[in-house]
Amino acid sequence: MSLARLLSPEAIAVVGLSADPSKHGGRVVANLKRLGFRGEVWGVNPGMPDVPGVEVFASLDRLPSSPDLVVCAIPAGAVPGTVRAAGTVQAGGVVVFAGGFREVGEDGAALQDDLVAAAREAGVAVLGPNSGGVIRPSVGLAASFLTCLDRPASEVRPGPVGLVTQSGGTGSYVHNLAAERGSGLAVSVSTGNEAVSGLSDGIDALVELDEVKVIALVMETVRRGRAFMESVQRAHQAGKPVVACRIGSSPRGERLMTTHTGAMAAPSKLLDGVLDSLGVTVAETPEEMLAVAEVMARAGEVGGERIGVITHSGGIAILLSDLADRIGLELPQPSMALAGELAPFLQLGTAANPLDMGAIIGGPGRFADVVERFAASGEFDAVLAVSTAHPPAHTVERAEGLVALDPQVPVVHLWMAGDVADAGLQMLRAAALPVVTEPRAAIRAMGGLGRTLHRTVPSETPRTPMPAVPATEHAAKEVLASWGLTVVEGGLAGSVDQAVALASSLGGRVVMKVSSPDIPHKTDVGGVVLGIGDPAAARQAYQQIVTGVSGLRPDARIEGVRVERMTTGVEAIVGMITDRLFGPMVMVSLGGVATEGLGVERWGPAPVDPEYARRMVEGVAGLEATLGRRGDPGVAVRALSELVARASEHFVASGLLEVEMNPVAWNGERWEILDAVMRGE
């Protein structure tokens, strides 16, 4: 349901308005007056109290015309009826301040269900329950009780960042941060419990507002996965980057997973993969989120990922290099020609990237000169100019030089000069330049600006359940081979003689594994024997497996023993699940014992193309370094990326709920699937 009328109201009705100005209804009316709202403001209360400057009506159906926004400043129990009444008068949307819904237990959950039903019947957008309201300074909209509105009205000013927050109190904090910096928020939308309208509705509404240049999210969870992904995609297509602060996650129900993939499918990990795949810049705190968002809003579009960094502190140059490496931001080195051009400006510094100018006491204008040359070189798509501590007497001239620049690529300023140089910081802010005071936020902003990868949300491919879901490793491998994936050479033996013959035909050492639809974890019941090197050992291994498994699991159906050529190499895990929230997801991880506890996996919405699959593979901590011990890691990374992409494409069309290839091993030439499991409905 669109929030358009709710964010651009011409008439507001405050239901529950009383004569007490300290209550939520009174605070809303006072805030609207202070911010200069020019539309109609009506009160609704059956008691029709006397409220100075506001006409009060007994009910919504007595209003002179249809309100665009209805504010519910009433107890929880009266909310569903008010929402139904709002539909009757064709209101545009309802903001619900009250708590006491699903968050308080069964009775509250029933009340929230009634609220959802009321909204559907009424056909109106509903923010909340537990919403902190909406604030849009440019039109004087302050339908909120948040304390950020207690500051002078002149400090509740518009800025370039729009905010959608699931935490009203955190939204108030972000408003205060923006005001403290001499800026503000273009609009803030507090979604609360999201019984009806949620993050995606807020994003869609902000995309339509011209004053919003960047969309910031304070998010605890995602309740409608596909709608969220599509809204973020629309924002990026509109040229409005999305920056998110994750402040928690919530479980989304039990999964009947029996694999490493299922164990690693934590909601927070899946959401990390979704955000990364969509090109969302993720911050760790609300303050960092605002800093990153403001920089991205003021810097404008960047044509590529080549970032140049200029400072005059060797230590800061090292710090920024470390931070850039942590998020995968590459800092290309300047050419010999540019290094030669910069040499006269350096005092014991180094013509590298980051560029350490060394001492600059000789002239405060030198810093701006170097920034200009970096930006004009054609070698960088954006420049980070870092002003560290310098003689206070140089501050104004330095800032004036930076303000006067007309760079050919965006220049972002990291001001780390301390309070003695505050005048320069204020000059940069007054000029509406992109400036930040914290190194990590600066690097995150540069990474967000330089990242051109914004994946298209995978389309919803019709999924036809497989008529017969492979229940054994052998059957699963036959399916994977039909997908064009390389499965380790082997076959199924139904007798000891077949096992011996298979082992002999494969040559070298082999491995034998029980094949049973009832035993997903074969090693737990002695169902695996490794390193079999001759016919006698093969005969003994077959009998050992069948006898041992039958003794431990007499209920299990044993279809035979799979005999495979034994191979070793660097191991990875490739898995896919159908998540209840985001749909098909694909994962790649370093293989080995207890991998699910190491946090080295990377997730993405399936299907992925080879380009994004490579980004996932390269993001797996330790994988490339491990591959380097077995030849050229680049070849192995490309091959694994292609495997991930192909597998994810087939999985989406398969109708399966889960597929795991664990492990797949790199033998120096190709990836081979050594074990696999599949699960359907």
pLDDT in tens, 459-513: 776 666 666 777 899 999 999 999 999 999 999 999 999 999 999 999 899 999 9
Q: Which domain holds residue 356?
A: 304-450
The whole-angstrom separation of Cα 374 and Cα 352 is 11
Helices (H), 78-216: 79-88, 106-122, 168-180, 199-207
Which helix H or strand E contains 587, and what residues bound it? strand 583-590
Are residues 418 and 493 located together in one domain of the fold?
A: no
Same domain, 432 and 530: no
Q: Is residue 298 in some structural domain?
A: no
Q: CB count, 10 Å around CB of 536?
A: 10
CB 56 within 8 A of CB 48: yes
**In this structure, is residue 255 part of a structural domain?**
no
What contacts 585, CB < 8 A, 6 or more positions away? Answer: 265, 270, 273, 576, 577, 578, 579, 603, 604, 605, 606
Q: In terms of domains, do 551 and 420 share one?
A: no
CATH of the domain at 558: 3.30.1490.20
How do residues 97-109 score in pLDDT, each as one tens digit? 999 999 999 999 9
Among 392, 425, 450, identify where a domain stops: 450
Does residue 464 belong to any structural domain of this protein? no
Residue 551 shares a structural domain with residue 590: no
Of 186, 212, 238, the last residue of a domain is: 212
* pLDDT one-digit tens code per residue, 363-414: 677 899 999 999 999 999 999 999 998 889 999 999 999 999 999 999 999 9
How confident is the prediction for the chain on average, in pLDDT?
91
User: Tens digit of pLDDT for each residue in 126-157?
Assistant: 999 999 999 999 999 999 999 999 999 999 99
Length of the chain, in residues? 681
Q: Distance (Å, rounded) from C-alpha 71 to C-alpha 67?
A: 10
Residue 447: its H or E element: helix 439-450
| Per-residue pLDDT at 362 | 57
| Same domain membership, residue 29 and residue 141 | yes
Q: What is the pLDDT of residue 452?
A: 56
**Centroid of chain to Cα 384:** 24
Please give the pLDDT value at position 254: 38
Per-residue pLDDT at 599: 60
If asked whether residues 628 and 560 sit together in one domain, one would say: no
| Domain-ending residue, one of 536, 565, 594 | 565
Strand-by-strand arrangement of the 348-350 sheet: 348-350, 355-358, 307-311, 382-388, 411-416, 435-436
> Which runs of E-coded beta strand occur in 237-319?
242-246, 281-283, 307-311
- Indicate if 526 and 584 belong to the same structural domain: no
Q: Domain check: are 508 and 574 in the same one?
A: no
In this structure, the answer to whether residues 593 and 559 fall within a common structural domain is no
- 641-678 residue pLDDT tens: 999 999 999 999 998 999 999 999 998 889 999 999 99
How do strand 583-590 and strand 602-605 relate by DSSP bridges?
antiparallel
Whether the per-residue pLDDT at 456 is higher than 90: the answer is no
Determine the Cα angle at 518 with ends 513 and 519, to 5°: 40
What's this model's pTM, rounded to 2 decimal places? Answer: 0.92
The domain spanning residue 442 has which CATH number?
3.40.50.261
Q: Tell me if 571 sits within 8 A of 214, measured CB to CB.
A: no
Q: What is the CATH number of the domain that holds 590?
A: 3.30.470.20
**608 falls in which pLDDT band (50, 70, 90)?**
very high
Would residue 131 count as lying in a domain?
A: yes
Give residue 360's pLDDT band: very low, low, confident or very high (50, 70, 90): low
**Are residues 517 and 396 both part of a single domain?**
no
The verdict on 583 and 558 lying in the same domain is no
Domain count, the chain: 4
DSSP string, 654-676: HT-SEEEEEEEEE-SS-EEE--E
pLDDT tens digits for 534-557? 999 999 999 999 999 999 999 999
Q: Per-residue pLDDT averaged across 339-360, rounded?
A: 83
Residue 282 in any domain: the answer is: no
Average pLDDT over residues 598-614: 89
Residues above pLDDT 70, as percent of the chain: 93
The token pair that represents 105 in the structure block: 């237990």
Per-residue pLDDT tens for 47-91? 999 999 999 999 999 999 999 999 999 999 999 999 999 999 999
- Within a domain: 231: no
- 3-state DSSP assignment of residue 514: strand
CB atoms within 10 A of CB 322: 11
User: Is 279 within a domain?
Assistant: no
Q: Tokens representing 437? A: 């005071």
Task: Give pLDDT, residue 627.
Answer: 82
Same domain, 63 and 105: yes
Domain assignment present for residue 378? The answer is yes
| 3-class secondary structure, 54 | strand
